[in-house]
């Protein structure tokens, strides 16, 4: 089962490597990971997407808690309505000739994606949505045009309502 784990931790040298190291040491899987300082520069926030049933995630959560730098850990199944999650995608595509360029432009309009860079033969498209929608968009793009390269940010998530890591 797809699970999102949010971690609030000290923004210190080596803190991220301890988190990542823990996953490999204990044989847990990281699908993707995002990390950045919060509004309080002494703190960082990490969002990890992993696979596993409830008991595996509970074990991961406990082990993460054990890391001295970690302040708070929270997890959420992605199918629950409790979390807002987004991922950013950049895709560089071949865009040659008026017809193809128009078709890609139309596709972007339908998906509410943006063209953020152009050259005579290339577009860079930007798309922000859930991982599921990013997959769908990418598939649609690939059917329209030749994909040169893609980059995805990994999931960034925040809990709905009052549930907060900063309390």
Partner 1 sequence: MTMMSGAQMVVRTLEDLGVDHLFGYPGGAVLDIYDALLESTKIKHILGRHEQGVAHAADGYARSTGKVGVCLVTSGPGATNTVTAIATAYMDSIPMVILTGQVGTPLIGSDAFQEVDTVGITRPIVKHSYLCQCALDIPKYIRQAFYLASSGRPGPVVVDIPKDCVRPSLRFEYPEQEGPVRLRSYNPTKQGHRGQVKRAAKLLADSLRPIMLVGGGAQLSGAIDEVRAIAHRFNLPVTSTLMGLGVYPSTDKQFLGMLGMHGTYEANNAMDKADVVFAVGCRFDDRVTNNLSKFCPAAKIIHIDIDPASISKTVTADIPIVGDAKTVLNQFIEAFDEFDLHENEALKTWWAEIAKWRHIDCLNYAKNDTLIQPQEIIEAVYKATNGKAIIATDVGQHQMFTALYYKFDEPRKLLTSGGLGTMGYGFPAAIGAAVGNPDSTVCLFTGDGSFQMNIQELSTCLEYDLPIKIFILDNSTLGMVRQWQRMFYKGHISSTNLNYNPDFVALAKAYGHEGIKVTSPKDLDGAIEKALAMKDKLVIVDIACNTDAKVLPMQQGGGSMSDMFLSED
Q: What are the residues binding partner 1 (CB under 8 A)?
A: 9-10, 13-14, 17-18, 21, 25, 58-59, 62-63, 65-66, 68-71
Torsion of CA 61, 66, 72, 75, to 10 degrees: 0
DSSP assignment string, 127-153: EEE-HHHHHHHHHHHHHHS-EEEEEE-
Sequence-separated (6 or more) residues with CB below 8 Å from residue 129: 86, 87, 137
Nearer to partner 1 (CB atom), residue 3 or residue 44: 44
Nearer to partner 1 (CB atom), residue 7 or residue 89: 7
Burial of 3 (0-12, 13-18, 19+ CB in 10 A): buried
Nearer to partner 1 (CB atom), residue 58 or residue 117: 58
Minimal distance, residue 152 CB to partner 1, in Å? 28
Minimal distance, residue 35 CB to partner 1, in Å? 16
Tell me how many degrees the CA angle 6-21-11 measures, rounded to the nearest 5. 55
Minimal distance, residue 123 CB to partner 1, in Å? 39
How crowded is the C-beta side of 150, counted as CA atoms within 13 Å?
19
Q: Give the whole-angstrom CA distance, residue 160 versus residue 72.
A: 17
Minimal distance, residue 159 CB to partner 1, in Å? 20
Q: How far is CA 17 from the centre of its chain?
A: 18
Nearer to partner 1 (CB atom), residue 14 or residue 97: 14
Nearer to partner 1 (CB atom), residue 71 or residue 128: 71
Minimal distance, residue 101 CB to partner 1, in Å? 46
């Amino acid at each position: 089962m797809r699970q999102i784990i949010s971690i609030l931790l000290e923004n210190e040298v080596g803190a991220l490597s301890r988190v990542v190291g823990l996953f490999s040491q204990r044989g847990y899987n990281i699908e993707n990971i995002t990390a950045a300082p919060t509004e309080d520069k002494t703190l960082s926030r990490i969002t990890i997407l992993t696979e596993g049933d409830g008991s595996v995630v509970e074990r991961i959560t406990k082990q993460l808690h054990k890391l001295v730098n970690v302040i708070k850990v929270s997890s959420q199944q992605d199918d629950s309505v409790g979390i807002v999650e987004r991922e950013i995608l950049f895709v560089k595509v071949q865009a040659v000739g008026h017809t193809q360029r128009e078709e890609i432009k139309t596709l972007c309009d339908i998906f509410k994606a943006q063209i953020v860079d152009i050259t005579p033969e290339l577009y860079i498209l930007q798309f922000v949505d859930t991982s599921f929608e990013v997959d769908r968009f990418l598939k649609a793009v690939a059917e329209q045009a030749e994909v040169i390269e893609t980059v995805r940010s990994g999931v960034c998530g925040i809990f709905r309502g009052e549930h907060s890591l900063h309390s």
